[in-house]
């Protein structure tokens, strides 16, 4: 799987975290994924694309109670009834290869919409470093806190760069990032008690070295 292009949806005017939106050549087929189980988490990755489930071993109501027949990494098969989708925050904290949430569209797909998915962080970082995932300006529209107010779009100065920040109770730099040119794009923020897991968020490193964060910007503008 290859990332063809991408950009950042800053979710302007909303308190939501920024979203990474990418176009890929082809999403790997479901039968190619071999899952590893740790506790109640099931994790698999093919060509940088990640699938995950959370299931407690008994029929549940996730995905409307749908049944998933999956292949395990040890060669066995498992049937999950009503599993939940889980999230990168949980699988990252469990020690699986770190991933991040993305909205994905497949090239030449008959569907025009993007789907929620997960990708290997290293793959996303490299795409940011190479400019495949572009830095888009923060085109603020109506203010979330004051719907009648329209702000001037925020344009990032030349030389600004997309980065990812890792936040969590310990936020360790995983060994997977060693010997990697894109590791300088990763900023580690260790915030005790901030999240029940390890979460990546998109930010911008400005030419003077300071970091622009949407949450900080919105708090400042609210005042």
- Please give the residue that has the higher pLDDT: either 138 or 173: 138
Label residue 70 exposed, middle or buried (CB < 10 Å: 0-12, 13-18, 19+): buried
> Across residues 125-139, what is the average pLDDT?
91
Residue 152 pLDDT > 70:
no
Q: What's the pTM value of the predicted model, to 2 decimals? A: 0.82
Q: Percent of the chain beyond pLDDT 90?
A: 52
Closest by CA position to 160, among listed 193, 202, 112: 202
Query: CA distances (Å), 199 to each of 41, 52, 109, 223, in order?
Result: 17, 16, 30, 27
Q: pLDDT digits over 48-81, tens only?
A: 999 999 999 999 999 999 999 999 999 999 999 9
Are the C-beta atoms of residues 135 and 159 closer than 8 Å to each other? no
- Contact status, residue 195 vs residue 169, Cβ threshold 8 Å: yes
pLDDT for residue 179: 41
Q: How confident is the model at residue 194 (pLDDT cuts 50, 70, 90)?
A: very low
Question: What pLDDT is recorded for position 146?
Answer: 53
Output DSSP code: residue 216: H
Q: Is residue 14 pLDDT above 60, yes or no?
A: yes
Q: Which long-range contacts (CB under 8 A, 24 or more apart) does 142-150 make?
A: 142/13, 143/13, 143/221, 144/13, 144/14, 144/15, 144/218, 145/222
* Residue 86 pLDDT: 86
**pLDDT of 45:** 97
Rounded Cα distance, 221 and 145, in Å: 10
CA dist list (Å): 120 to 24, 72, 123, 156, 185 = 14, 19, 5, 27, 15
188 near 166, Cβ under 8 Å?
yes
Task: Give yes or no for a contact between 78 and 35, defined as CB atoms under 8 angstroms apart.
Answer: yes
- Residue 100 and residue 120: Cα distance in Å, rounded? 7
The token pair that represents 196 in the structure block: 């029940």
Number of domains in the chain: 1
pLDDT of 108: 85
Please give the Cα distance from 10 to 16 (Å, whole number).
8
Domain interval for residue 64: 3-222
| Res 18 pLDDT > 60 | yes
The Cα 168–Cα 192 span in angstroms is 6
- For residue 25, give the DSSP letter: S
């Amino acid at each position: 799987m290859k990332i063809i292009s991408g950009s950042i949806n800053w979710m302007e005017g909303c308190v939501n975290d920024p979203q990474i939106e990418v176009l890929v050549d082809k999403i790997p087929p479901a039968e190619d994924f071999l899952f590893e189980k740790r506790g109640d988490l099931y994790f698999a990755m093919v060509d940088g694309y990640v699938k995950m489930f959370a299931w407690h071993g008994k029929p549940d109501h996730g995905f409307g109670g749908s049944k998933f027949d999956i292949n395990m990494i040890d060669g066995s098969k498992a049937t999950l009834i009503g599993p939940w989708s889980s999230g990168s925050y949980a699988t990252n904290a469990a020690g699986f290869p770190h991933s991040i949430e993305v909205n994905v569209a497949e090239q030449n797909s008959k569907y025009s919409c993007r789907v929620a998915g997960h990708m290997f962080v290293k793959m996303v970082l490299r795409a940011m470093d190479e400019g495949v995932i572009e830095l888009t300006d923060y085109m603020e529209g109506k203010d979330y806190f004051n719907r009648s107010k329209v702000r001037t779009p925020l344009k990032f100065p030349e030389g600004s760069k997309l980065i990812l920040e890792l936040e969590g109770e310990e936020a360790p730099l995983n060994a997977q990032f060693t010997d990697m040119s894109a590791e300088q794009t990763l900023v580690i923020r260790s915030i005790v008690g901030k999240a029940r897991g390890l979460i990546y968020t998109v930010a911008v490193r400005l030419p003077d070295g300071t970091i622009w964060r949407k949450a900080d910007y919105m708090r400042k503008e609210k005042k």
